[in-house]
Structure 1
């Protein structure tokens, strides 16, 4: 007689607690966009709480000259990763033996980072800033201005040598950076990105034994962000601030699944579309005002130019998830997850930031955030029923990251992870699961959009704790 591996007793405690973040995974990936709640038998509902605490620290660069990209080890940055938590909910029901419906909520993308020390904090000391940027050649604002005055006449007359012109440009740049520093004295670099997603799903089973299922539906996604760049690390961009208002836009999900209940086998391939957001953004850029005043504008005119409200596009990336499980014996279940996200196609390009950068970096300007590689995530797990109402599980995982060097607002190159969890069936229908994971983060250099290296982050780690309450009735 063939054994049947009942999913109710083999269910994995935390197999669906995917983990990702701008501070501990590739890009802005946070929840992993898990959909496995939809593949549970009968009527099913779950509520999942996840808490992530990462330790990401390193050293800034002692080279604060905006025109030189080389990294020189400087001071400690302290821990820049902010702890955060999020929720995920899922509800699924069978209409009949062919059709199923479900609704899923998660928080797919996000970031939470803040520098509280080092060259990523604005000091507001004009003389110290200028001396640092010019390697002591101009030890104060007065000295820099005197140097500019001495060379400016020669520039007007067209008699400066190439070396003298370079010196003049360097002094002007140093003064601009120092003035931007002074306008935001004592402020920290920080970034926060929040998103919410609601997915509706309709599935249809087919085949002789209803082993196959196609599914899909609409996705509503909301996203908002705030960014502050501060300190000598950001050179002329120090003082830049942007606030993106919440925007709701829509995409879709589609996939195909196969199941074989006799051995508790389930496999699903899920595609999520990219979603294009048209975001209202308010930007402030002190460098714009500094340049405007130098060109003869009044303070009022310069202030107006350095603050802009506009609209731009952010396209959150598409993704592909593969979820697999199979019974090994009547009390043991094996699981596997694979996720791909093309972060190399993702950019954040605020209009004022981009327009200002065109002066120094050509007609295309710079993106505020971009990545060089696509993300791959692989997680393997085993679950074992050790008592009629208790199952335990273990997982190992790997995240490829999205390139190194990477943005200074999320300087981690993927991770390795191990996890443990347990699920206890409180009643025939209700269960509670809990677990945790430990992560070893990949070393990464922090880089500005201009390719300047501003930080080195090594030997970092973090942990994740999760709690899930679920209901299932067949």
Structure 2
């Protein structure tokens, strides 16, 4: 097999090997979007992959900054009582698994189409009940499902081929949050004082892009735009049955998942060697304060308004992810890649999502020309910061319930995938 052919084969899998370096990004990003399977040169290719991410974010120096208490507590109140006798530290993050599956089919010499399932967005924070910030968060979990269809049309252009890319996707977002509404410690009442909100919404998005490839030198450059997904009416319930005199309140709000743009490039740089990199922007600033108001209320849903029940206070800023790496093909069966990734944190002071630096490495094993196994690992640093009061563009303060710090923490990940080609 000649060296140019080796570089072409290496280029087909390197981006997938590098994905685990971006497995723990800012905002609500989890698996993100990935259409690399669309570029596989085989007439038919199917892939199943999974990544297990283990962040170890730890909270310290937590202080309950809103110790107010009322009985019965107000529906929109944050105080919950004085929790400063509880621990000032907590484990904030939970490990999670990110699956992905897809199949790509070539139709003639010019058209390729791919269908895939993924979980692009998600978050799981569970510091628990016994810390000083339980009036802000006991557990928050958001999950997503994404079903997509993407096609490309390619044509000869110069020494290579140019592709037009387009597709649509459907997303379902669901989740819950629990916090302490009222502390009943020391009171002989059969109530926990914990409130919970459950939410769900869905919407449709689209993507468009272009790519240029020269397979003989493993060159590929692609630019893909993914649209915002309007979730329409996000509906759910606020359950206050663990607070005396309260019940279940149906609520409604509006939210959108962010648009994004990603540029990727790779090229053979020597026989059997490949360099690759990517830059991605995600419009996380679309998620600021998400208000939820009582269903059927006669007035608009504004923060603190007559129908206001609760809110998800995010105040995210836009996210940027920059990744680069190098790969090498040792022989017809084995190749490997290593990456370095920087992800700009999306927090403006209300969460622990600061900058992340990650180093990843992976290997690819092809026992036959029709089967490919990939596996890898990553280790990274979640940089330090603090959480406290942040004022939004309308001059309204948020984060008045708790303040805390966090240091440089560790995140690790393991990934594996199985691809079959016909």
Which of the five TM-score ranges fits, normalised by the shorter chain?
0.7 to 0.9
Q: Is the 8 A contact 2:28 2:123 kept in 1?
A: yes
- Give how far 1:91 is off: 1.4
Deviations 1:209-231 (A, max 9, x none): 56110111111111101111227
Q: Does 1:29 align with 2:29?
A: yes
- Give how far 1:275 is off: 0.9
- Give how far 1:312 is off: 2.1
- Give how far 1:190 is off: 0.2
Deviations 1:288-344 (A, max 9, x none): x88xxxxxxxx4xxx35xx32133222111111112111111201111121111111
- Aligned counterpart, 1:255: 209
Matches within 5 A, 1:227-238: 227-230=177-180
Q: Is the 8 A contact 1:416 1:441 kept in 2?
A: yes
Larger proportion of helix: 1
The two structures have a TM-score, normalised by structure 2, of 0.81
Greater mean alpha carbon deviation, residues 332-341 or residues 34-43: 34-43
Q: Does 1:451 align with 2:399?
A: yes
Deviations 1:337-367 (A, max 9, x none): 21111111214322259969516xx999984
Matches within 5 A, 1:196-215: 196-208=145-157, 211-215=161-165
The two structures have a TM-score, normalised by structure 1, of 0.72
Q: Does 1:371 align with 2:326?
A: no
- Matched position secondary structure for 1:7: helix
- Aligned counterpart, 1:390: 334
- Give how far 1:416 is off: 0.1
Structure ID, larger Rg = 1
Q: Does 1:427 align with 2:373?
A: no
- Matched position secondary structure for 1:15: helix
**Residues 206 and 392 (structure 1), Cα distance of their counterparts in 2 relative to 1, 3 Å cut:** same
Distance 1:9 1:264 in 2: 8
- Give how far 1:12 is off: 2.2
Matches within 5 A, 1:150-229: 189-208=138-157, 211-229=161-179
How many residue pairs get matched?
A: 381
- Give how far 1:5 is off: 4.8
**Residues 330 and 90 (structure 1), Cα distance of their counterparts in 2 relative to 1, 3 Å cut:** farther
Q: CA RMSD in A?
A: 3.3
**Residues 434 and 13 (structure 1), Cα distance of their counterparts in 2 relative to 1, 3 Å cut:** farther
Matches within 5 A, 1:313-392: 313-347=254-288, 348-352=290-294, 358=304, 367-392=311-336
Q: Is the 8 A contact 1:14 1:422 kept in 2?
A: no
Matches within 5 A, 1:385-424: 385-407=329-351, 411-424=352-365
**Residues 365 and 308 (structure 1), Cα distance of their counterparts in 2 relative to 1, 3 Å cut:** closer
- Aligned counterpart, 2:93: 81
Deviations 1:415-468 (A, max 9, x none): 000011111111111010100000100213234672335221112111010001
- Aligned counterpart, 1:61: 62
Distance 1:20 1:242 in 2: 30
Deviations 1:72-110 (A, max 9, x none): 9x9442322111102111211210111111112210000
- Matched position secondary structure for 2:132: helix
**Residues 450 and 286 (structure 1), Cα distance of their counterparts in 2 relative to 1, 3 Å cut:** farther
Q: Is the 8 A contact 2:18 2:360 kept in 1?
A: no
Q: Is the 8 A contact 1:344 1:372 kept in 2?
A: yes
Q: Is the 8 A contact 1:38 1:90 kept in 2?
A: no
Deviations 1:351-393 (A, max 9, x none): 259969516xx99998413234210001111111123311111
Distance 2:235 2:309 in 1: 20
Greater mean alpha carbon deviation, residues 81-90 or residues 341-350: 341-350
Where in structure 2 are there 5+ consecutive unaligned residues? 69-77, 184-192, 390-396
- Give how far 1:3 is off: 4.2
- Aligned counterpart, 2:116: 104
Q: Does 1:281 align with 2:236?
A: yes
Where in structure 1 are there 5+ consecutive unaligned residues? 123-180, 182-187, 291-298
Distance 1:20 1:323 in 2: 14
Aligned structure 1 segments of 4 or more residues deviating by more than 6 angstroms? 353-356, 362-366
Distance 1:57 1:356 in 2: 33
Q: Is the 8 A contact 1:191 1:226 kept in 2?
A: yes
